[in-house]
């Protein structure tokens, strides 16, 4: 059906969210904190697209902040439901691009993680377990300024 093909083409060619305030010193510092505490191990900043019949999409560098892989996120995020071959505690790393815009598109509040239980970015980080336990612990050991810088960076995405 041509209408379906047109919608698929439209969705494939939507522009990725653009990072905001990326030259602000606190955002730059927050990006370093993000890497230092281990977030970039799974929320990989940069990927390269594969070959596509759409030239504008073929072999392009983009910045989704995900590795697109399944990770064991621990008992705290285990919801008892399987999806495909994933265990009940495994979750695909969500892209962080657009994170700072999501609050405005959700009625002024955050609803983060797979079930929306985290209403702040800080709470979402604290609920990371399993393979992300060390990053969560590292976050909790940051001082107030470092946490603020990290949040400013994440909200810039």
Q: What is the pLDDT of residues 64-122, one digit of tens each?
A: 999 999 999 999 999 898 888 899 999 999 999 999 999 888 888 999 998 999 999 99
What's the pTM value of the predicted model, to 2 decimals?
0.91
Taking the CA atoms of residue 34, residue 44, residue 137 and residue 91 in that order, the dihedral angle to the nearest 10 degrees is: 140
Q: Tell which phi-psi region holds residue 52, choosing left (phi > 0), alpha (psi between -120 and 50) or beta.
A: beta
Taking the CA atoms of residue 47, residue 53, residue 54 and residue 59 in that order, the dihedral angle to the nearest 10 degrees is: 20
Work out the average pLDDT over 43-72: 95
Do 112 and 154 touch, CB atoms closer than 8 A? no
**Terminal-residue alpha carbon distance, the chain:** 36
**What pLDDT shows up at residue 40?**
98
Mean of all residue pLDDT scores within the chain: 95
Work out the average pLDDT over 20-31: 97
Q: How many angstroms separate the CA atoms of 80 and 103, rounded?
A: 28
Chain centroid to Cα 127, Å, comes to 14
Do 20 and 31 touch, CB atoms closer than 8 A? no
Q: How many angstroms separate the CA atoms of 124 and 79, rounded?
A: 15
Q: How many angstroms separate the CA atoms of 99 and 18, rounded?
A: 11
Write out the two tokens for 119.
Answer: 């209403």
């Amino acid at each position: 059906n041509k209408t379906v093909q047109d919608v698929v083409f439209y969705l494939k060619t939507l522009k990725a969210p653009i990072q905001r305030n990326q030259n602000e010193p606190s955002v730059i510092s927050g990006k370093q904190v993000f890497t230092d505490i281990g977030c970039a191990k799974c929320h990989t900043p940069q990927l390269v697209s594969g070959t596509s019949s759409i030239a504008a999409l073929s072999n392009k560098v983009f910045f989704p902040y995900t590795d697109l892989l399944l990770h064991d996120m621990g008992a705290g995020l285990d919801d008892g439901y399987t999806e495909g071959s994933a265990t009940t505690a495994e979750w695909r790393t969500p892209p962080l691009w657009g994170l700072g815009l999501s609050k405005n598109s959700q009625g002024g509040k955050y609803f983060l993680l797979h079930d929306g239980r985290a209403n702040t970015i800080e709470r979402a980080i604290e609920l990371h377990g399993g393979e992300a336990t060390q990053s969560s612990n590292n976050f909790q050991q940051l001082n107030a300024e470092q946490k603020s810088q990290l949040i400013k960076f994440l909200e810039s995405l």
